[in-house]
Amino acid sequence: MPKPRLSVIGTGYLGATHAVCMTELGFDVVGLDVDPAKVAKLSAGEVPFFEPGLGELLRKNLDTGRLRFTTSWSEVAEFAEVHFVCVGTPQKKGEYAADLSYVEAAFGTLAPLLRPGALVVGKSTVPIGTAAWVADLVRALAPEPDAVEIAWNPEFLREGYAVEDTLHPDRLVFGVRSAAAEARLREVFAPVIEAGSPVVVTDFATAELVKVAANSFLATKISFINAMAEVCEVTHADVTKLSEALGYDERIGRRFLRPGLGFGGGCLPKDIRAFMARAGELGADQALAFLKDVDAINMRRRARTVDLGRELLFGSFHGARVAVWGAAFKPNSDDIRDSPALDVAESMQRNGADVVVYDPAAMENARLMYPQLSYAATALEAADKADLVLLLTEWAEFREMDPAVLGGVVAARRIVDGRNALDPPTWRAAGWTYRALGRP
Ligand code: UGA
């Protein structure tokens, strides 16, 4: 049987990676984006964001002739039998809820063009109830409503590991309403299933819930250890030792138990907020009341980091030159959405510091969003004559910095390790005043 032809609608992190990986798995794929600049870049073999390994895989798969990108909806509808919708669902301005306008536009534009037999699969992270709403929308607009189907297949990829997570996911979740839709999805994911990824088949609401529940759990785990860091701060205990000791218990596990400046990015913060907003609409707000604390603990880490910096500068940022290492929300990414590092940098600047930022990948994005900050071309240049250095995103080059070399360029040897990434004895031995979150 010939393999179904695929389309991927929306070529951000999720969509671009999905399109490339499905081609790698042997399918014919067309990717659509409404942004002609993105389409041109991808068509030329250029990934519009930082993702290790994706550029090589994109160029390799473009060369097969089985992958192309377009802005034409009719081309996509003509070509593909299975469509994956991968558009963004950002937080609404001034509200907790998710903005579903891109989801509505994607399904709404595609529906009237759909050919009989088409399956449209939502991958975007959405509030519970969206898949059912989208199914009604598509039914109302499709030329042959009984001949098209909707499914929901949430995505769990992490930035920085996007290719690996897409080719070898921990699990596949298929939210479906018919055996035919499940069979189609099994066909499309056959290579992934054969390689060992388990499949959970369920209804729409559960599939939507798996995604937000997973991100809520991860956020809760991070905020748990960061709450322990707050307790460590008042008891002079060491949260990194605490985390290590807790992590040996397999029921707890070490992953996502790294204490520090907390979570940011385009997913965890907005997903827990959208989840709370939706739970409120559904009358289940009490069930998720704890997520408010998860969010609050996370935001307090940023304030605490600013306070640590101020303490090291004897109570005031005024006139101080401050180096910030890191702008991306995590290492191996150029994503600065809800970046804890830039939030802290901006706050210190607002309080009178002269802040100079360096990041190995996110400089361009940071400059656009935070033009009020200064930027340097290297980590050492950022630290030149600095009164204080803050490590806020744990890139390898910061972890591996020689304290003596750095000591040679700064005005004063003071460092805040916002990610618990450095070895305190080594830094103290080199004459540094070293402070970190949750450590004596
Ligand atoms: C997250 C999830 O991990 C993915 O499974 C999910 O698919 C994705 O969101 C999504 O919804 O699209 P991602 O946003 O790429 O992935 O980032 P993570 O690796 O989860 O890190 C999130 C934040 O938590 C980062 O700011 C990181 O620095 C922080 N973090 C992580 C900690 O502070 N401590 C930890 O122990 C782990």
41: enclosing H helix or E strand? helix 36-43
With respect to residue 191, please indicate whether it lies within any of the assigned structural domains. Answer: yes
**Same-domain status, 59 and 109:** yes
Return the DSSP state at 283.
T
Mutation probe of ligand 1 site: the residue of 221, 240, 330 with most atoms within 8 A of C-beta: 330
360 and 306 in one domain? yes
* C-alpha span between 133 and 433 (Å, rounded): 56
> Does position 1 have pLDDT exceeding 90, yes or no?
no
The Cα–Cα gap between 38 and 46 comes to: 9
Same domain, yes or no, for 162 and 304?
no
- 329 CB within 6 A, ligand 1: yes
- What is the pLDDT, as a whole number, of residue 174? 98
Ligand 1: which residue has its CA nearest to atom 3?
158
67-80 burial string, b = 16+ CB within 10 Å, else e?
bbbbeebeebbebb
What gap in Å lies between CA 432 and CA 323, rounded to an integer? 15
Banded model confidence at residue 182, pLDDT cuts 50, 70, 90: very high
Domain of 258: which CATH number?
Answer: 3.40.50.720
DSSP-assigned states of every residue in 54-121: HHHHHHHHHHTTSEEEES-HHHHHHH-SEEEE----PBPTTSSSB--HHHHHHHHHHGGGPPTT-EEE
Q: Examine the domain organization and report whether 196 and 224 are in the same domain.
A: no
pLDDT band at residue 253, thresholds of 50, 70 and 90?
Answer: very high
In a domain, 208, yes or no: no
Q: What is the pLDDT of residues 265-303, one digit of tens each?
A: 999 999 999 999 999 999 999 999 999 999 999 999 999
Single residue among 202, 226, 242 that ends a domain in this structure: 202
Write down the catalytic residue from 21, 86, 232, 267: 267
Eight-state DSSP code of residue 262: -
pLDDT of residue 76: 98
- What is the distance, to the nearest Å, from the Cα of residue 89 to the centroid of all Cα atoms in its chain? 12
2 pLDDT higher than 90: no
279 CA to centre of ligand 1 in angstroms: 22
Residue 29 and residue 17: Cα distance in Å, rounded?
A: 12
Q: Is the same domain home to 284 and 151?
A: no
158 lines ligand 1 (CB under 6 A): yes
In a domain, residue 44? The reply is yes
For residue 235, pLDDT over 80 is answered with yes
Mean pLDDT of 221-226: 98
Query: Which atom of ligand 1 approaches the CA of 339 most closely?
Result: 26
Q: What is the three-class DSSP state of 190?
A: helix
Would 209 be classed as within a structural domain?
no
Q: Which of 202, 237, 264 is the last residue of a domain?
A: 202
210 occurs within a structural domain: no
Q: Are 423 and 391 in contact (CB under 8 A)?
A: no
The per-residue pLDDT for 277 is: 95
Residue 69: predicted pLDDT = 98
Query: Is 267 a known active-site residue?
Result: yes
Q: How far is CA 359 from the centre of its chain?
A: 17
What kind and span of H or E run contains 7?
Answer: strand 6-9
Q: Which residue has its alpha carbon closest to ligand 1 atom 29?
A: 263
Q: What is the pTM of this model?
A: 0.96
Quote the distance between the C-alpha of residue 201 and its chain's center: 25
Rounded distance between C-alpha atoms, residue 263 and residue 340, angstroms = 7
What's the pLDDT score for residue 369? 97
From 158, 305, 334, the mutation candidate for ligand 1 (largest count of ligand atoms within 8 A of CB) is: 158
Distances (CA, A) of 196 to 145, 170, 187, 190, 281: 35, 9, 15, 10, 38
Tell me if 229 is assigned to some domain: yes
Considering the domain architecture, whether residues 149 and 65 belong to the same structural domain is answered as yes
Q: What is the mean pLDDT of the chain?
A: 97
* Domain end residue (candidates: 202, 230, 258): 202
Q: Say if CB 394 and CB 359 are below 8 A apart.
A: no
Close Cβ partners of 147 (under 8 Å, ≥ 6 residues apart): 116, 117, 118
Give domain status of residue 72, yes or no.
yes
Question: What Cα–Cα distance (Å) separates residue 107 from each residue in 34, 120, 140, 153, 176?
Answer: 13, 8, 11, 15, 17
What's the confidence (pLDDT) of residue 430? 98
pLDDT band, residue 391 (cuts 50/70/90):
very high
Task: Note whether 409 and 267 are same-domain residues.
Answer: yes
Helix/strand/coil for 1: coil
197-215 average pLDDT score: 98
Does residue 185 share a domain with residue 246?
A: no
Q: Which amino acid is at 291?
A: L
**172 and 317 part of one domain:** no
Q: Are 307 and 424 within one domain? A: yes
Consecutive H or E run containing 185: helix 179-188
Same structural domain, 53 and 113: yes
In angstroms, how far is the first alpha carbon of the chain from the final one? 64
C-alpha dihedral, 222 to 159 to 122 to 202, nearest 10°: -50
Residue 139 lies in a domain: yes
pLDDT value of position 205: 98
Number of domains comprising the chain = 2
Q: Are 221 and 198 contained in the same domain?
A: no
Q: What is the pLDDT of residues 345-355, one digit of tens each?
A: 999 999 999 99
- Whole domain around residue 51: which residue ranges? 6-202
